[in-house]
Amino acid sequence: MLNIPLMFNNIEKEDIDCLINFLRDADVFTQSKNVRNFEDQWSKWLGVKYSVFLNSGSSANFITMAVLKELYGDGEVIVPGLTWSSDISSVLTAGLTPVFVDINLKNLAMDENKVFDSISNKTKAVFITHVLGFNGLSQNLLDELNKRNILLFEDVCESHGATFNEKKLGCFGLASNFSYYYAHHMSTIEGGMISTDDEKFYQYARLYRSHGLIRESTNPEFKKQIAETYPEMREEFLFLVPGYNMRSTELNAVIGINQLKRLDKNNEKRHENFNLFLDNLDKNKYFTDFDITGSVNYAFTIILREKNDKLFNNVVKRLQEEKVEYRRGTAGGGNMARQPFVQKALPSVKYEELVNAEHVHFFGLYTGNYPSLEHEKILELCSLLNEI
């Protein structure tokens, strides 16, 4: 029996030891100096000026879209059919309109030609999802969005350390979102990050993280300007925007600081594992034509090359028998446009027109890929799949 879990031992003993040492001496547990330290270290690792640590990657989505609406107003946001639910719900909650486009299979990201076809005079931004460790960018996409003055936001929640043109994903858009959920490349148990080079966006993200309070800004001139605009309000309780409480804690930051030390090394192992997996998978049964340049896949993506209900059901059955944990539909369970909350909010969306997202929805899944996964297990998994 293969017995491969989706994730194994992402919180290691050294993380726990760091946390124990912190707890012995700490007198502040809510966000403080360790949160700031983690934000600074993450910004340096990623290659951006500013980062804001949050309690989840979903919170990063909600704040990013809220700031987009606050600074740039109403409009449409182009989103992929294959993504996580909060990428869509955050757009809706901000009062913006999601416009779905289909994906391409080579990297499971939105098809750039579909993006270009969907741009209208209402388009404010493209919210791209880098799925399961793949890079979803191209120079053509970046150039065209820049030419048309369309903002780019990156969901990098599943792709920490993946690159495009040897530059880390999360450095290309106005802002980018990361998740440190337990199963991802690195973990703070729960946690997320917004990263940006835009100082104004950064300040507003800080406000939205903490109730909308102006005192959360690190820009003295900005705080002074707002205080002078509302002289009847007390500066320490001046709520500029309808913010949330999406702060994280010192405990999560301590784990994140320690995990960041081994992220690059672990990503090398993930990339090596994924190459081994693709090299040994039956290319006639399964789609293997992925663009893996710069990818750091935290999962093995298994998609049937052709529609075949019987074969897919047999794959699921054999994985269950061998206790290989999996998730059907890959990111977010498949075609997000099919989800009830989307259909209720956007009844005119025709999910069946997202042909590639539909294929992944019904004939795709993923299993776990992590640094400690033995090569022998990967080869056995390939043999199992090829024999079905």
pLDDT tens digits along 148-166: 999 999 999 999 999 999 9
Give the per-residue pLDDT at 319: 98
Q: Tell how strand 192-196 and strand 299-303 pair up.
A: unpaired
Beta-bridge mates of residue 299: 368
Give the per-residue pLDDT at 314: 98
Same fold, 13-260 and 263-387: no
Q: What percent of the chain has pLDDT over 70?
A: 100
**Topology classification of domain 13-260:** Aspartate Aminotransferase; domain 2 (3.40.640)
Domain chopping of the chain, boundaries:
13-260, 263-387
From the list 278, 284, 269, 333, the residue with the least C-alpha distance to 301 is 278
Give the per-residue pLDDT at 164: 98
| Mean pLDDT of the 317-322 span | 98
One-character DSSP codes across 236-271? GG-B-S---B---BHHHHHHHHHHHTTHHHHHHHHH
Beta-bridge mates of residue 324: 4
Distance CA 356, CA 334 (A): 10
Cβ pair 186, 263 in contact under 8 A: yes
One-character DSSP codes across 169-204? TTSSSSEEEEE--TTSSS--SS-EEEEES-HHHHHH
Q: CA-CA distances (angstroms) from residue 240 to 131, 244, 376?
A: 34, 12, 56
Name the residue with tokens 């030891």.
Answer: 17
Q: Is the pLDDT of residue 261 over 80?
A: yes
Name the residue with tokens 């672990």.
Answer: 266
Query: For 326, phi and psi rounded to 5 degrees?
Result: -150, 170
Q: What percent of the chain has pLDDT over 90?
A: 98
Q: Is the pLDDT of residue 7 over 90?
A: no
Structure tokens at 380: 């056995």
Under DSSP, the state recorded for 324 is: B
Cβ within 8 Å of residue 226, ≥6 positions away: 214, 238, 240
Q: Helices (H), strands (E): how many in the chain?
A: 14, 12
| Mean pLDDT of the 308-317 span | 98
Q: Containing H/E element for 300?
A: strand 299-303
For 53-70, write each residue's pLDDT tens digit: 999 999 999 999 999 999
| Mean pLDDT of the 5-19 span | 91
Under DSSP, the state recorded for 111 is: P
CATH architecture of 263-387: Alpha-Beta Complex (3.90)
Q: Which amino acid is at 255?
A: I
Q: How much helix, strand and coil, in percent to the nearest 5, is found in the chain?
A: 45, 20, 35
